[in-house]
């Protein structure tokens, strides 16, 4: 009798789970039909219903991905989209899905929500989990940028120092050093900024031209009172920079500023 009872219980559990799976799949299929017909609101309703039935099943993960896509692209509800990526990270049994969900989550907080505190946290998770230097450096660069936008310059410089110890690609190294220079500008440490930008121009001449490093170098020199060198820096890129009228205006403004500061290291014709 006991064995028979256990068998009945097992059968009932099996039937219940099968029923849930069938209902969940039916909800997902309804959502898919509504998406194809352009009724995204009804689609979102059935996707959520499918997820609630069993949030760790493969069908639920598919529903989370589709819901995140809808809320991001169609509804522009980035917080809601982020909540679905959080669920993917939490409930997916597949490492690649969790990693992709974490990437999307970090990107949403940084680019769309501009929640830099949360972006720093989410990109830090990616950096910590990565075993590849180039990936770790890329994630840490996003962490550094998040702290920069938060005005936490000490932590920004700390992250940059760690990035430069890793074997990263040249573009990440360039962006990290450029960010370091911008931090020094923000802190009004113009001598450090000037040296950083000069090093960038020496090491990455073409990239520095593309990213207008000469302009920020000129600004740093000007703010440090080195008017002649600031003007020479701008003159050095006149053949490569557009619009040229902007450079001429900058040069004239620096010349005027130099004339108004007797005794400074001003511009000399």
Q: What is the pLDDT of residue 13?
A: 42
Q: Which CATH number among 1.25.40.10, 1.20.1070.10, 3.90.480.20, 3.40.1260.10 corresponds to the domain 17-112?
A: 1.25.40.10
Instruction: Decide whether 17-112 matches 115-187 in CATH topology.
Output: yes
Fold of 115-187: 1.25.40
Do the Cβ atoms of 204 and 174 come closer than 8 Å? yes
Q: Cβ neighbours of residue 182 under 8 Å, at least 6 residues apart? A: 148, 193, 216
Q: Kindly list the domain boundaries of the chain, sorted by start residue.
A: 17-112, 115-187, 198-269
Query: How far is residue 228 from each of residues 51, 104, 209, 222, 250, measured CA to CA in Å?
Result: 66, 47, 20, 8, 13
Q: Please calculate the CA angle 265-267-269 and round it to the nearest 5 degrees.
A: 140
pLDDT tens digits, one per residue of 152-184: 999 999 999 999 999 999 999 999 999 999 999
pLDDT tens digits, one per residue of 99-133: 999 999 999 999 999 999 999 999 999 999 999 99
pLDDT tens digits, one per residue of 49-106: 999 999 999 999 999 999 999 999 999 999 999 999 999 999 999 999 999 999 999 9
Query: How far is residue 27 from each of residues 46, 144, 228, measured CA to CA in Å?
Result: 5, 42, 71
């Amino acid at each position: 009798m006991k064995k028979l009872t256990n068998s009945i219980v097992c059968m009932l559990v099996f039937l219940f789970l099968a029923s849930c799976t069938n209902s969940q799949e039916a909800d997902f299929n309804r959502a898919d039909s509504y998406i194809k017909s352009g009724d995204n609101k009804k689609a979102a309703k059935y996707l959520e219903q499918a997820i609630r039935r069993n949030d760790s099943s493969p069908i639920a993960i598919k529903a989370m991905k589709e819901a995140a896509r809808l809320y991001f692209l169609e509804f522009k509800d980035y917080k809601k989209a982020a909540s679905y990526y959080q669920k993917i990270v939490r409930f997916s049994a597949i490492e690649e899905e969790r990693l992709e969900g974490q990437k999307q989550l970090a990107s949403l907080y940084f680019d769309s929500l501009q929640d830099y505190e949360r972006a720093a946290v989410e990109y830090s998770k990616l950096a910590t989990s990565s075993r590849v230097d180039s990936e770790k450096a890329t994630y840490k660069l996003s962490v550094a940028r998040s702290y920069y936008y938060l005005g936490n310059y000490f932590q920004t410089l700390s992250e940059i120092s760690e990035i430069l110890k890793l074997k990263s690609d040249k573009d990440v190294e360039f962006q990290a050093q450029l960010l370091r220079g911008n931090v020094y500008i923000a802190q009004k440490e113009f001598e450090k900024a000037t040296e950083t930008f000069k090093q960038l121009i020496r090491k990455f001449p073409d990239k520095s031209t593309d990213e207008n490093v000469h302009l920020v170098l000129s600004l740093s020199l000007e703010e440090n009172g080195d008017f002649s060198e600031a003007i020479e820096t701008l003159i050095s890129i006149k053949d490569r920079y557009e619009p040229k009228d902007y450079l001429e205006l900058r040069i004239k403004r620096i010349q005027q500023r130099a004339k108004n500061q007797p005794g400074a290291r001003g511009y000399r014709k």
